[in-house]
Amino acid sequence: MEPDHLTGIDWPELQNSKIEPENLPGFTFVGQHNGDSYKMTVKEQVEYDPEKYFVNIGTNGREANLTYNEILGEINKKWNFDET
């Protein structure tokens, strides 16, 4: 069973999909932060740096700025997907 903060993610759908940059806002995935796994949700693209996205980490109001490639890297680590 997944920890509460990781529920609500459709793993099989994620595995079979291609994630385009324009589809990232609202996207939820599991990522690592300070050595722990958290449910992360992409909020929006950073206006002053369009290569990055605001990402909510967990439920405590933490936020990070991650690039598209960093987000895909976190997803690939979870699933051991090939990077394509």
DSSP secondary structure letter of residue 68: H
DSSP secondary structure letter of residue 23: G
13-63 confidence digits (pLDDT tens): 555 456 788 888 998 888 888 888 889 999 999 999 989 999 999 888 899
The predicted structure's pLDDT at residue 75: 80
Rounded CA separation 75/23 (Å): 15
Helix extents (H) in the chain: 11-15, 68-79
Contact assessment for residue 30 and residue 15, using Cβ atoms and an 8 Å cutoff = no
Q: Which of 24, 32, 31, 28 minimizes the C-alpha distance to 10?
A: 28
Give me the domains of the chain, ranges plus CATH numbers. Answer: 4-79 (2.30.30)
